[in-house]
Amino acid sequence: MLTSALSGIEHALWDNHRQVARQPIYQLMGGAVRDKIRMYGWIRGESYGDYIESAKVGVNEGFTAFKVGVPGPINIVDTQKAVEDVVEMFAQIRSAVGSEVQMGIDFHGRVSPAMSIRIAKALEPYYPMFIEEPVLPENVDMLALVARSTTIPIATGERLFTNGLSARCWKSRRQPCCSPIFRTRAAFLSAGKSRRWPRPITRRLRLTARWGRLPWRLRCNWTPASPISCARNMSTLGEGYIKTPFKVENGFIPVPTGPGLGIELDEEALADKFDDGTWETPRLWHEDGSVADW
């Protein structure tokens, strides 16, 4: 909560500063490095049919890449059918969208290392774009084990609230990749939500860019939080929240050119979207009644 609050305040200050200057925020970072930004959509559903329909809608909206979540809780040592259920869902979506559309799958850290290895092997014929959080990111050794057991790229970072670097690494500019995840080459960084890294944003971006220069590293920004976070991370479109939602064309959106974060909230549309206090975090349980990792 603290790191997210600090992040929100910092980004608001940067946005205000650029609003006054009437320039996009990336001008403070040395200017844009691309003309457009690749996007991927989220596939939702309660059944295979729902997932397939969601994917088709996304394709019609212009997306050429998607991410879907692994269905239901997975036991530490689960059945062959549990593996088959995950693969069947992914295979049917793959069949619906074709081989030119990229698809990642999010394990949400709810799968054990042993089951992650089994599921990843079974998914390989369907060419996933990546598997996100096959195990909890704090378990770096197991993350590396899973990564080395499959040809599918591994993503992590959603639950990492800092950059994981020691004070010694911060002082040594020649060692920008002391984080165990980078050091073991276990995964590429999927930087999600409104995570706060413990340095000013300009230096933080320079450091991640320096990590990204190495050929096996990649940073993939995303956020489920809000269109404001989207303007920072570029991963939701903002219909009904901002006055000019982002539009996807052939999988990309153009780099925003408006001042600050490049968005303006639609306060009238937001009036009926505030939480009334009835929403609860989704929960999952195993068959024996024990709590499963959501």
| Tens digit of each residue's pLDDT (9 = 90 or more) over 48-98 | 788 889 899 889 889 999 999 998 889 999 999 999 999 999 999 999 999
Residue 40 lies in a domain: yes
Q: State the pairing for strand pair 188-189/252-254.
A: unpaired
Q: CA dist 108 to 52, 150, 157, Å?
A: 20, 18, 11
- Check whether 229 has a pLDDT greater than 50: yes
What's the pLDDT score for residue 114? 95
> What is the enclosing helix (H) or strand (E) of 67?
strand 65-69
Residue 283 lies in a domain: no
What's the pLDDT score for residue 140? 83
Residue 287 lies in a domain: no
What's the pLDDT score for residue 90? 94
CB 180 within 8 A of CB 140: yes
**Lowest pLDDT segment from 63-72, 118-127, 207-216, 256-265:** 207-216
- Check whether 218 has a pLDDT greater than 80: no
- Check whether 124 has a pLDDT greater than 90: yes
CB 154 within 8 A of CB 147: yes
Write the pLDDT tens digit of every residue in 147-176. Answer: 999 999 988 877 776 655 443 443 444 444
CATH number, domain at 170?
Answer: 3.20.20.120
Residue 57 lies in a domain: yes
What's the pLDDT score for residue 278? 77
The pLDDT mean for the chain works out to 77
**Nearest one of 143, 130, 221 to 183, comparing CA atoms:** 143
Q: CA dist 42 to 57, 262, 264, Å?
A: 11, 23, 24
CA–CA gap between residue 135 and residue 142 (Å, rounded): 7
The strand pairing partners of 184, in sequence order, are none
Token pair of 256, please? 């925003």
Residue 291 lies in a domain: no
Residue 290 lies in a domain: no
What's the pLDDT score for residue 113? 94
Domain holding 71, by residue range, is 2-273
What's the pLDDT score for residue 130? 93
CB 154 within 8 A of CB 139: no
Residue 113 lies in a domain: yes
Residue 188 lies in a domain: yes
Domains held by the chain: number: 1
What's the pLDDT score for residue 189? 58
| % of the chain at pLDDT higher than 90 | 27
